[in-house]
Amino acid sequence: MKKPDVTRKKPVVLIVDDDETLQLVMQSSLESEGLTVALAASGEEALQTFPAVCPDIVILDVMMPGMDGFATYAELQKLPEAKDTPMIMITGVDDLDCICRAYAVGACDFITKPMKLPIFTHRVKYILRATQTVKALAASEARLENAQRIARLGHWEWHIQENAFFCSDDISHIAGLTHPHTLPTYEAFVNVIHPDDKAHFLKAIKAAETRLEPFDLEHRILTAQGAIRSVHHQAEALRDTTGAVRVIGTLQDVTERKQAEERIRYLAYYDELTALPNRTCFKEHLEQTLKVARHHKRIAGVLILDLDDFKRINETFGHAAGDHLLKEVSERLSKFVRMDDVISRPGCEDSESSVSRFGGDEFTLLLTEIRREEDAGRVAERILQVLSEPFRLNGQDLVVTASAGIALFPHDGEDIDTLLKNADTAMYHAKRRGRNNCEFYTHSMNAASFERLSLENDLRKALEGEQFLVHYQPILDINTRKLTGMEALLRWNHPDRGMVSPGDFIPLAEETGMIVPIGEWVLRAACTQNRAWQEAGFEAVSVSVNLSHRQFEDPKLYEAIANGVNASGLAPHYLVLELTESTTMKNAETTIASLNKFKQMGIRLSVDDFGTGYSSLGCLRRFPLDVLKVDRSFVREITTNTDQTEITKAIIALARTLRLKVIAEGVETEEQLLFLRALGCDAVQGFLFSPPVAADAFARFLTPCAVPPQPEVGQVC
């Protein structure tokens, strides 16, 4: 089937008439006006010609032999492409019956014989122009309908005095109605509006009816399927000359937009992992709480909670398990908040905003019904108790502790930032006190925090500024008091503070991670100094260097130690690495693998502070150790406390079983020395012999020898 040529500029007229003379006259007249003409001498020929030329108008003679004009018209109407094509019937001047039949079958006009050509031509052109206008309007309406359908936009009109209502099919679709015309009345239209929003809509309609006020509002509708959809509703009222009012409006489905807005708002105010309010939401809620507290002169509080060693949990079990734990913690906190009257106020539907996830493993709680400081302390105590119950993680029970800090309004701050900062300061003080506890903020904490920050800044400059020193404490044979080794100990000579206590800066170095580069420096310095003494002709002894747990967890530790030993030129068997008992026990399998690598280098290994941890004999047997060091806390009371005596005996007996050397630390009296000798201890160190001293002062403990000995790997001079 041939389609019409949409690119053609001249309209095409199909003339169907058995009178050849009349055909030629009409053809000449129409072509003179710029029209294209096609001819057919019968109805049968017209049916064949029509699909080929797709005319814009058909001129059809009523009286033709064979198939007359009416039959031809009926057959043409069956062609899909002829459905909207206008047709003009040619009739006799007095043939009223044919004229009536022509209009009845759908002809748009008629022309009588004999025809007046100028009028005939103008009538054809007029009908063509009118047809093009109708087609353009239909196309425009179709485009508008498609655009409204895509935009989910419907329109409606209500004539108030007549109560006549019309709405487009799109409104029926939005309302979830099966049939487009299910809303024939205004009342039916109003009934699809959500019951909670109906009064608002009716108020807007009333204002439009009485004061001709337009409205623009958003509300919900209840679909036939029971679903709730959001719509944007706009309307205006018009009054005609008779005073009658009609309201016309549009209704657009904006459900997806509203859902997207809600999602954006959720992400802006809530934590996606735990579904708790986030930092932004909590601060807004805190601001409102402080306004109420100021007005009523009440106390309010902020509690900041941080999980202890959460990083270790992530590293051990993986981040997925860490996320699961955070969700479990959130659920416990949320449940606690709903039950606690200091946090969850009676009748407050937004009680979940009293607890939030601030980020990472840090949570905040808002305390609203505080009458005295003890109330906040009671909340913190109960929270720590709630969290102390084991969590199930990867098929095993895990006990999690937390540290909390509390700041109260108005005593500890009158604005959001100050309260949060002070609660955070208190929380870090709780962590430094040993964790799993809570601290109230005090003004002295700021001074302590400033001092700590200042010390941290100075510590970062100390390594560059060559402010660190290594002091050495002798290790002596318990029977001969002959030097068998020495322990290298870090000291910090600050240009302004003087000698800073190791108890002040070493924990800070471990917490900040600076202990890793500092520890590397200590190892290089100790190995280099020991090698220098050997080259100077002193008898060779081993030097012990401590490794912190942060160093031991560093993946580059083996490389750093190997580089340090090689750079110094010291034979590896003159180096002893000291690890704390808790470090060796943290991850036994990984520890054993690391220690074996050091043993393969020829380095000797010692467990420091032994007896303060929880080593099992089975685990200890597998460690490639050389030395156990008895912690000074046992030595201090070894002659006066039976328990300490028995523990020391057990440690020495264990060392004998495992064929390890035993060194006792912190020996300060002859009585302690004699007691340890009687128990079978191998070596000692402590203030009885010497405190840690600088390298030049330590030389007095060294024994000159003509030829520096070269002992086998593992041998001790």
Average pLDDT value over all residues in the chain: 83
Q: Which of 172, 202, 166 is nearest to 184 (CA)?
A: 166
- 516-548 per-position pLDDT tens digit: 999 999 999 999 999 999 999 999 999 999 998
Could you tell me the CA-to-CA distances from 189 to 176, 203, 216, 223 in Å, in that order? 12, 15, 17, 11
More confident residue, 458 or 104: 458
Give me the residues paired with residue 487 across strands.
473, 544
What pLDDT, on a 0 to 100 scale, did the predictor assign at position 1? 44
**CB within 8 Å of 12: residues ≥ 6 apart:** 35, 36, 37, 38, 53, 54, 55, 56
Residue 697 has pLDDT above 80, yes or no: yes
Rounded mean pLDDT, 4-8: 53
In b/e form, how buried is each residue of 170-209, taking b as 16+ CB within 10 angstroms? bbbbbbbbeeeeebeebeebeebbbeebbeebeebbeebb
Q: Give the pLDDT band (50/70/90) at residue 338.
A: confident
- What topology does CATH give the domain 271-441? Alpha-Beta Plaits (3.30.70)
Which pLDDT score is estimated for 80?
A: 79
Indicate if the pLDDT at residue 667 is higher than 80: yes
Does the pLDDT at position 111 exceed 80? no
Confidence of residue 717 (pLDDT cuts 50, 70, 90): very low
User: Is the pLDDT score of 319 beyond 90?
Assistant: no
Tell me the two tokens of residue 645: 């005596």
pLDDT, residue 168, reads 81
Of 553-567, 582-596, 628-642, which range is least confident? 582-596
Has residue 347 got a pLDDT over 50?
A: no
Which of these, 245, 277, 473, 439, lies nearest to 358 by C-alpha position? Answer: 277
Is the model's pTM score more than 0.75? no
pLDDT tens profile 409-449: 998 888 999 999 999 988 988 887 777 888 888 877 666 66
Lowest model confidence (mean pLDDT) among 7-21, 35-49, 556-570, 578-592: 578-592
Q: Which residue has the tokens 């080593």?
A: 615
pLDDT of residue 586: 67
Q: What is the pLDDT of residues 30-54, one digit of tens each?
A: 888 888 889 988 888 888 888 888 8
Cα–Cα–Cα angle for 474, 478, 482, rounded to 5 degrees? 55
Bridge partners (DSSP) listed for residue 356: 364
pLDDT in tens, 457-485: 888 888 888 899 999 999 999 999 999 99
Give the up-direction half-sphere exposure of residue 460: CA atoms within 13 A in the CB hemisphere: 8
Instruction: Enumerate the domain spans of the chain.
Output: 12-147, 151-258, 271-441, 456-701
| Residue 670: per-residue pLDDT | 93
Lowest-confidence region among 135-144, 202-211, 274-283, 502-511: 135-144
- Residue 512: pLDDT band by 50, 70, 90 thresholds? confident
CATH number of 151-258: 3.30.450.20
In this prediction, residue 481 carries a pLDDT of: 92
Which pLDDT score is estimated for 526?
95
**What pLDDT does 713 receive?**
39
Look at the domain 12-147 and name its fold. Answer: Rossmann fold (3.40.50)
Determine the average pLDDT of the residues in 485-506: 91
Residue 340 has pLDDT above 90, yes or no: no
Give the tokens for residue 264.
């954006």
Q: Are 325 and 269 in contact (CB under 8 A)?
A: no
Per-residue confidence at 714, pLDDT binned at 50, 70, 90?
Answer: very low
Longest dimension (CA), the chain: 152
Fold classification of 456-701 (topology level): TIM Barrel (3.20.20)
Which pLDDT score is estimated for 150? 54
